[in-house]
Structure 1
């Protein structure tokens, strides 16, 4: 007889109670303390509701009611993998590292499974994440099984690393919570192209947390292609800290999943640090995608740029919440934020909430938001030249997204984004 599913926060707490002696780090006191504190935070907070300001536009009841209560599963055979974008690849299936599918041995940086090296990570695991403030980070900290740990030594050009997450189809809804720790030392560079995908009928929750440290003068380009199963949920929380002269360049494309939230907390901690947080959301009927960013300017002479674009068809809903917080010490801040939405259906909905919170005197900050439909004159122009309507609409959508994609400087990363965007309208029609 199948054991009953436990739903909501109670279900995950029940799962933690059953797995606490089998989760990685069970014999390490500091890991257990970290997990227990996160469990208490999650027990106190539960799943966030729309009463919380940060979650006002995203309802997690369908996630909470799904009944994720599976035991640690045995990894089966992986399907054919997408073509790689770089020379090195780290593959995770259901949140656990697949050494047999990965290729990291000749990389000029150190990359390994978190579960295998957990005993050496006391100074890094939990250094940036805030489980007491973010419920999904608490859930991840309570139940993480594995993740990728990357260290790029000072002055090393790391090249391109593929980070691939595969969700599996199981008889019962699966939940996995990978924890990724990425550190670039002074003057280092790395491009990460991250792809999350799963079988069309797979129903799962992917709840990753990232803790990213960019050292002085270092540059991290981080492109994320979210192409999860249409029945899947992804609730990602990312923390990034950028030191003096460093650059963190993030681009997130949300194109899959049933309900998705991309939450980024970035802090510019040293003078002349730079952060780019850009992205696009391509939403079909029934999809909900939420991009929420919090950018702290905590040092002088720093710059940030944010451009997020959303294309919505059918009965879909997009959310953008972006807050720029300029601390008093952060004089000569240069910050820009723009959110634009293109509605392809009268039933589509976009909620946009850009915010500026400024405590410094000498700053240059601006933000804005626009919402519109496909220009009828432009569509007529293309149709009059013999271009079929689906193709004409696709061309206009791609032109709308071009500004966002073009900001990605790395050639391999930009090519991966363009391949994901091309032809999207024909597939959605």
Structure 2
């Protein structure tokens, strides 16, 4: 299947591109206040890094994501570092008959960190894709996370999503989700 055309990269944002749930490109080490890594790379196990799945009925789809995700991205914004911006592009190219994609992201902001995350989901116009996304945000004390989520999948895409956030004292989390 063809990958849908990607939008232009945004100036000032570090970009990571996933195709059918697998990291295809990224700019490792491009911002001194960020640590970003695929959980397929060596390091702490993905289950230890991700933590347990939320224990509420609405999280059933997150359990499927946890079981079937083949990659995930861990983003850590370090304490008192300069504000950072990251763009995540998730492209679904495979039809549902060939399999689903399971985008998985864990965002961690240490105390007083500031981060903007722009998350884009798109699909090939002719594909009837199945996407099951899971995002977890842990926002430390006095930290600020601004999170934009743009869902622009093909008309025949079935898109499921679980978003969980845990905020420490005086933390701020601003979320804007747009589906087209």
TM-score, length-scaled by structure 2: 0.89
Residue of structure 1 equivalent to 2:126: 201
What CA distance in whole angstroms lies between the structure 2 residues aligned with 1:220 and 1:239?
Answer: 13
Match of 2:172 among 223, 228, 247: 247
Gaps of 5+ in 2: none
CA RMSD of aligned residues (A): 2.2
Task: Please tell me whether the aligned partners of residues 130 and 138 of structure 1 are also in contact (alpha carbons under 8 angstroms).
Answer: no
Match of 1:88 among 6, 11, 14: 14
Residue of structure 1 equivalent to 2:40: 115
What CA distance in whole angstroms lies between the structure 2 residues aligned with 1:253 and 1:133?
Answer: 21
* 1:241-286 CA-partner distances (Å, limit 9, x unpaired): 000011010100011xxxxxxxxxxxxxxxxxxxxxxxxxxxxxxx
Residue of structure 1 equivalent to 2:106: 181
What CA distance in whole angstroms lies between the structure 2 residues aligned with 1:117 and 1:208?
Answer: 23
What CA distance in whole angstroms lies between the structure 2 residues aligned with 1:171 and 1:216?
Answer: 41
The equivalences for 1:23-422 within 5 A come to 78=3, 80-85=5-10, 86-99=12-25, 102-108=26-32, 109-117=34-42, 119-127=44-52, 129-130=54-55, 134-170=59-95, 172-255=97-180
What CA distance in whole angstroms lies between the structure 1 residues aligned with 2:176 and 2:96?
Answer: 34
SS of 1:172's equivalent in the other structure is helix
Task: Please tell me whether the aligned partners of residues 107 and 158 of structure 1 are also in contact (alpha carbons under 8 angstroms).
Answer: no
What CA distance in whole angstroms lies between the structure 2 residues aligned with 1:178 and 1:117?
Answer: 19
- Deviation of residue 174 (structure 1)? 2.8
What CA distance in whole angstroms lies between the structure 2 residues aligned with 1:171 and 1:127?
Answer: 27
What CA distance in whole angstroms lies between the structure 1 residues aligned with 2:101 and 2:4?
Answer: 18
* 1:372-401 CA-partner distances (Å, limit 9, x unpaired): xxxxxxxxxxxxxxxxxxxxxxxxxxxxxx
- Deviation of residue 166 (structure 1)? 0.3
Gaps of 5+ in 1: 1-75, 256-429
TM-score, length-scaled by structure 1: 0.39
* 1:346-391 CA-partner distances (Å, limit 9, x unpaired): xxxxxxxxxxxxxxxxxxxxxxxxxxxxxxxxxxxxxxxxxxxxxx
Size of the aligned set, in residue pairs, is 178
Q: Select the structure with the greater relative contact order (CA < 8 A; seq sep ≥ 6).
A: 2
Task: Please tell me whether the aligned partners of residues 132 and 138 of structure 1 are also in contact (alpha carbons under 8 angstroms).
Answer: no
What CA distance in whole angstroms lies between the structure 2 residues aligned with 1:133 and 1:199?
Answer: 28
Task: Please tell me whether the aligned partners of residues 167 and 199 of structure 1 are also in contact (alpha carbons under 8 angstroms).
Answer: yes
Structure with the larger helix share: 1
Structure with the greater alpha carbon radius of gyration: 1
- Deviation of residue 131 (structure 1)? 7.1
SS of 1:231's equivalent in the other structure is coil
